[in-house]
Amino acid sequence: RAGASPARTFQISEITLISPIPEPPSVRDFYAFEQHVKSARARRGVGMIPEWYEIPTFYFTNNSEMYGHDQDVPYPVGSNELDIELEIACVIGREGKDIPVEEAANYIAGYTVMNDWSARDFQRKDMVLNLGPGKGKDFATSLGPWLVTPDELASRRSGSGASERYDMTMLARVNGKEISHGNFKDIYYSFPQMIAWASRNARLRVGDVLGSGTVGTGCLLEIGTEVHPWFQRGEVIELEIDGIGILRNRIA
């Protein structure tokens, strides 16, 4: 308004970033990159699951243990096999139920980088019981550094509806060393497909987070601990997605 003082601006170095969605109503994590699924299963000596090609499956993860850029992530007590998962996530901007895949992109408020921290030794025990990853995924999820709206990524987009894809390089680094290199365009199930499936017989709410699942080469479970040992306290993990930015966390 007239006479009002101009808004104060800050340098990024002057502020602390929290998760762009610090308390999402829910967090669904999908399994949408074929390369990751195939490679991780091959390392365990098992073949591909035919049913994977039928539905974009997901699980619910803990929505109360969210971390932002440059926040320390506590090492899970009792685990000896800490891993990361390089993912991209979308945030829902409109409430909806039974959303058609052709309209689903209109429900996306924006995209952010996601690290689905994983305690693999915990996860292995839980998965034997066929009820999901349990405590293996219960302790931390990182989102950040900020939310990027779809219009900002329009030049990278091809297709629409079920075929919507984005050409965006995805990288993971530990202590400055690159250990993973993938691309968002290689995703098998698009976010519109994930939204359509997640909203079937269920209401999506504003602020709900949908993770893509791990991009190909995006975790130690897939690439092997010969590339890098299980992560330890003091190590710094950077996940970078072209067009969004870098999400950095130190393991505490």
- The span from the CA of 245 to the CA of 77, in Å, is 30
Superfamily of domain 19-250: Fumarylacetoacetase-like, C-terminal domain (3.90.850.10)
Give the model's pLDDT for residue 61. Answer: 98
Give the model's pLDDT for residue 177. Answer: 98
Spell out the long-range contacts of 227-234 with Cβ–Cβ below 8 A and sequence spacing 24 or more: 227/179, 228/174, 228/177, 228/179, 230/80, 230/81, 230/82, 230/83, 230/120, 231/82, 231/83, 231/84, 231/174, 232/75, 232/82, 233/75
**Torsion sign across C-alpha atoms 248, 137, 98, 188:** positive
Mean pLDDT of 152-177: 96
pTM: 0.95
Q: CA dist 18 to 67, 84, 160, 189, Å?
A: 7, 19, 32, 29
pLDDT band at 44 (very low <50, low <70, confident <90, very high): confident
pLDDT averaged over the chain? 96
**Opening angle at CA 85, ends 225 and 238, nearest 5:** 90
For residues 69 and 17, the answer to whether their CB atoms sit within 8 Å is yes
Check whether 202 has a pLDDT greater than 60.
yes
Amino acid at the residue 81? E
Q: Which residues contact 84 (CB under 8 A, 6 or more apart)?
A: 115, 116, 117, 118, 172, 218, 219, 220, 231, 237, 239
